[in-house]
Amino acid sequence: MNKNVLVVGGAGYIGSHTTLALQEAGYRAVVYDNFSSGHRDACFGSALVEGDLADTAKLTQTMQEHDIGSVIHFAALIEAGQSVITPLPFFHNNVAGTLALLDAMNAAGVSRLVFSSTAAVYGNRTDVTLLDEDLARAPINPYGDSKAMVETILESCVSAHGLQAIALRYFNACGADAQGRTGERHDPETHLIPLVIQAAQGTRPQIKINGTDYETPDGTCVRDYIHVSDLASGHVAAVGHLLGQDTPGVQAINLGTGAGQSVRQVVEAVKQISGCDFTVVEDVRRAGDPAILVADVARAHAVLGWRAAHSDLNTIVRDAWAFAEQSAR
């Protein structure tokens, strides 16, 4: 069994946690990153290759030199709101970049891929309580469109190229490594929990709630928050599943908890755990934001044998707060 894994985007937030989890599970992880948003001190693989997602030749060479058996693809632009304002970079990187990666995999004879997809492919579904993988893809912003396009591309590569892939549709990644080795450091930061933590630390003057009139219990958006360490273990489980299979195919699998928390609940959790008060401003809705995104996680349980183990809101906020305080020192 070839346990050499190329982690494309392995210096980023989820990529760095996954690289740690792979190494701890006995895999050899090779990090490939262009450091457009990743961090050199978050590279935990056995080897590091600096390169761009669009560089098919370098990707091919890297896979051949390191005898890669599987690829995990994290390298994407991810900010849904920004994708509405400037959509083209999302299609250049997320779609065209993935085509370059698939070309390299074909050239290097690598057929197993774990793709970082997103719950944004579901769009704004008000007809179901939990989002399951058999729902039609119906994204409402260019970011979601780009990920849905890649899922379609992967499906078309099954019979043509013998691709074996899992598209992990994860929900709201958050938290940090419990040992403080890596955490969330986006620049600029756009994710809710680190933004609220910045307000608690006093490095942000206030936190803004975008929309208080959604059809949710407290009027604010509800999301399925999943600890990044749980996401990492889900990727390790996906690689292990692919290595145990010989039949080409693509399967979408949600990674979430099956429960949702509102923006107001997140704000209150940060206030409680940090012991700090801060200004909260209510504002209008943000373009492209669905009211509720909560995962049906039955397939992850059944196929991968995976369950979230660290994703209660207090654990998430406690780990994120500890990493933010450590980084501020």
CATH of the domain at 314: 3.90.25.10
Torsion sign (Cα): 239, 245, 247, 252? negative
pLDDT at 329 over 90: no
Residue with tokens 């669905």: 290
Q: pLDDT-derived band of residue 249, with 50, 70 and 90 as boundaries?
A: very high
177-228 pLDDT, tens digit each: 999 999 999 888 888 999 999 999 999 999 999 999 998 999 999 999 999 9
Q: Of 185, 191, 186, 171, nearest to 81 (Cα)?
A: 191
C-alpha dist (Å) from residue 231 to 129, 152, 253, 308: 22, 23, 12, 8
- Max distance between CA atoms of the chain, in angstroms, equals 57
Mean pLDDT over all residues of the chain?
Answer: 95
Residue with tokens 């949710």: 216
Is the same domain home to 30 and 165? Answer: yes
Is the same domain home to 205 and 75? Answer: no
Q: Among the three residues 255, 274, 299, which one is the final residue of a domain in this structure?
A: 255
Domain with 29, as residue range(s), is 4-173+227-255
Considering the candidates 27, 32, 122, 143, report the single residue annotated as catalytic.
143
Asked if residue 188 has a cis previous peptide bond (ω within 30° of 0), the answer is yes
Is the same domain home to 46 and 122? Answer: yes
Number of domains composing the chain: 2
pLDDT at 287 over 80: no
What pLDDT sits at residue 288? 66
18-51 pLDDT, tens digit each: 999 999 999 999 999 999 999 999 999 999 999 9
Is the same domain home to 114 and 207? Answer: no
Q: Is 143 a catalytic residue?
A: yes
Is the same domain home to 298 and 163? Answer: no
In a domain, residue 94? The reply is yes
Is the same domain home to 200 and 69? Answer: no
The pLDDT > 70 percentage for the chain reads 100
122-178 pLDDT, tens digit each: 988 878 879 999 999 999 999 999 999 999 999 999 999 999 999 999 999 999 999
Q: Among the three residues 206, 240, 255, which one is the final residue of a domain in this structure?
A: 255
In a domain, residue 244? The reply is yes
pLDDT mean over 90-95: 98
Q: Which residues of 283-299 are buried (b: 16+ CB within 10 A; e: fewer)?
A: eeeeebbbbbbbbbbeb
Is the same domain home to 59 and 136? Answer: yes
C-alpha dist (Å) from residue 289 to 42, 151, 223: 30, 21, 11
What pLDDT sits at residue 188? 82
Structure tokens at 37: 């948003």
In a domain, residue 67? The reply is yes
In a domain, residue 242? The reply is yes
Is the same domain home to 145 and 264? Answer: no
Q: What is the DSSP string of 77-90?
A: ---HHHHHHS-HHH
Is the same domain home to 267 and 251? Answer: no
Answer whether 151's CB lies under 8 Å from 115's CB. Answer: yes
Is the same domain home to 83 and 199? Answer: no
What pLDDT sits at residue 291? 84
In a domain, residue 41? The reply is yes
Instruction: For residue 117, give the 3-state DSSP assignment.
Output: strand
Q: Of 161, 184, 158, nearest to 172 (Cα)?
A: 184
pLDDT mean over 298-316: 97
CATH code for position 116: 3.40.50.720
Is the same domain home to 127 and 212? Answer: no
pTM for the predicted model, two decimal places = 0.94
The pLDDT > 90 percentage for the chain reads 90
CA distance 110 to 242: 12
Q: What is the DSSP string of 14-79?
A: HHHHHHHHHHHTT-EEEEEE--SS--GGG--SSEEEE--TT-HHHHHHHHHHTT--EEEE------
Torsion sign (Cα): 126, 131, 132, 134? positive
Is the same domain home to 197 and 313? Answer: yes
In a domain, residue 285? The reply is yes
In a domain, residue 64? The reply is yes
In a domain, residue 182? The reply is no
